[in-house]
């Protein structure tokens, strides 16, 4: 009987050939398969970045709004000033991280970015990047005026160009009326927020004139599209589930306009009161239409956080100027709601991120 195949150490050609193939197939090929699986896992994680949505910048808008609210609360309620500083630093860190992530997406997946920016609805969320820039610039003023000015200029000028491009696209016609949804308000809210924080940049008369221009463009834009969007919401089919939390943006034209308006006068007049109270009314009406049983977590929750932050800051501004105790209580309640909503949304965002559910195809 032939015994040349019994040992892997045989020096005969058949045995050597057999044993080489055995070792190769059972060890080297197994490792190669493991490497392939590992490469696929790495590729899967890298590919997830192509689904990184620009709407995630809504998180930094919300954090910046919370930082501003804490700064105002330090004066009204005596809260520690450090709270505003901590949130501002956190907002800047998240903002820079998101810029890096979206920058990588732009370099590696430019077709995905262009598809997002050409989309009739998704393109509006780019405004959250510019809003983040101007709000965080306002928070940076006490610590580094030059950084604040550069960031504000980039956000304000970029926001104006962005508003021009989207407005020009709208007037080309042939758009689906169902695409008239609350995020359409974001371009106007971008320049309104820039006008609000621009007063603290110290640009003198030139800056004041730029702020006036942006206030004029922004308030006319948001009021015009508030009417159009309201018509669509009343007479057409409900918005898709992803856009449900953004319904609270319908209050932002009034609350953000109020905050911006109050940077130009020293006391609350009738127009200011109309802006504030109607914005508060719209928010309350839509809040119970949004947060009801069955609502699932989505990235668009950050839109609800941004809207809540706008109302909270408007309430704090109204309470500080009017000294009205009732409005002061409302401001305290809105601040508490803002903290709770941002905390829950941030927790769910991080949980979905680490579980792989956040960055995936829509």
Query: What is the secondary structure of 180-208 as a DSSP string?
Result: --GGGGHHHHHHHHHHHHHTTS--HHHHH
Largest CA distance in the chain: 109
Q: Does residue 185 belong to any structural domain of this protein?
A: yes
Are 279 and 251 in contact by the 8 Å Cβ rule? The answer is yes
Q: Does residue 28 belong to any structural domain of this protein?
A: no
For the chain, what percent of residues have pLDDT higher than 90? 75
- 285: how many CB neighbours lie within 10 A of its CB? 13
Q: Does residue 36 belong to any structural domain of this protein?
A: no
Q: Does residue 18 belong to any structural domain of this protein?
A: no
Are 47 and 119 in contact by the 8 Å Cβ rule? The answer is no
Examine the pLDDT at 350 and tell me if it is beyond 50. Answer: yes
* Residue with the two structure tokens 């401001």: 331
Q: Which CATH number characterizes residue 272's domain?
A: 1.50.10.150
Residues in the chain: 362
- At 53, phi and psi to the nearest 5? -90, 145
CA distance 135 to 151: 9
- Mean pLDDT calculated for residue range 242-256: 96
- Mean pLDDT calculated for residue range 7-27: 42
Q: Domain tally for the chain?
A: 1
Examine the pLDDT at 49 and tell me if it is beyond 90. Answer: no
pLDDT band, residue 9 (cuts 50/70/90): very low
Are 188 and 225 in contact by the 8 Å Cβ rule? The answer is yes
Domain boundaries, position 335 = 53-354
Structure tokens at 351: 């949980």
Examine the pLDDT at 223 and tell me if it is beyond 90. Answer: yes
Examine the pLDDT at 36 and tell me if it is beyond 50. Answer: no
CA distance 134 to 151: 7
- Mean pLDDT calculated for residue range 86-98: 97
Q: Does residue 359 belong to any structural domain of this protein?
A: no
Q: Does residue 63 belong to any structural domain of this protein?
A: yes
Are 124 and 187 in contact by the 8 Å Cβ rule? The answer is yes
pLDDT in tens, 118-166: 999 999 999 999 999 999 999 999 999 999 999 999 999 999 999 999 9
Nearest to 131 by CA among 81, 45, 198: 198
Q: Does residue 223 belong to any structural domain of this protein?
A: yes
What does pTM read for this prediction? 0.85
Examine the pLDDT at 318 and tell me if it is beyond 60. Answer: yes
For the chain, what percent of residues have pLDDT higher than 70? 87
pLDDT band, residue 39 (cuts 50/70/90): very low
Q: Where are the alpha helices (DSSP H) in 236-268?
A: 252-262
- What pLDDT sits at residue 163? 95
Helices 127-140 and 81-108: crossing angle in degrees, nearest 10, is 140
């Amino acid at each position: 009987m032939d015994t040349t195949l019994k040992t892997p150490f045989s020096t005969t050609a058949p045995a050597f050939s057999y044993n080489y193939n055995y070792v190769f197939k059972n060890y080297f090929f197994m490792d190669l398969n493991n490497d392939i699986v590992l490469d696929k896992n790495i590729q899967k994680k890298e590919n997830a970045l192509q689904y990184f949505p620009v709407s995630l910048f809504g998180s930094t808008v919300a954090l910046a709004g919370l930082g501003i609210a804490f700064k105002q609360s330090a004066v009204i309620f005596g809260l520690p000033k450090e709270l505003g500083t901590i949130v501002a630093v956190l907002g800047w860190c998240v903002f820079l991280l998101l810029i890096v992530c979206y920058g990588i997406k732009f370099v590696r997946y430019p077709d995905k970015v262009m598809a997002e920016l050409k989309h009739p609805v998704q393109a509006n969320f780019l405004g959250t990047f510019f809003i983040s820039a101007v709000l965080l610039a306002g928070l940076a003023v006490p610590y580094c005026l030059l950084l604040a000015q550069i960031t504000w200029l980039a956000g304000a000028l970029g926001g104006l160009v962005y508003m021009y491009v989207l407005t020009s696209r709208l007037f080309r016609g042939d758009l689906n009326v169902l695409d008239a949804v609350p995020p359409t308000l974001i371009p106007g809210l971008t320049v309104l927020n820039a006008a609000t924080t621009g007063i603290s940049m110290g640009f003198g008369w030139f800056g004041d004139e730029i702020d006036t221009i942006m206030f004029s463009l922004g308030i006319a834009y948001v009021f015009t599209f508030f009417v159009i969007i309201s018509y669509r919401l009343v007479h057409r089919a409900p918005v898709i589930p992803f856009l449900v939390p953004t319904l609270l943006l319908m209050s932002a034209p009034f609350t953000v306009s109020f905050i911006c308006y109050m940077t130009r006068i020293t006391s609350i007049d009738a127009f200011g009161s109309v802006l504030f109270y109607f914005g508060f009314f719209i928010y309350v009406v839509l809040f119970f239409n949004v947060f009801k049983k069955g609502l699932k977590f989505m990235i668009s929750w950050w839109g609800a956080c941004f809207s809540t932050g706008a109302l909270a800051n408007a309430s704090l501004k109204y309470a500080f100027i009017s000294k009205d105790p009732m409005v002061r209580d409302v401001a305290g309640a809105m601040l508490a709601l803002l903290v709770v909503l941002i905390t829950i949304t941030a927790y769910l965002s991080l949980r979905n991120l680490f579980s792989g559910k956040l960055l995936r195809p829509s």
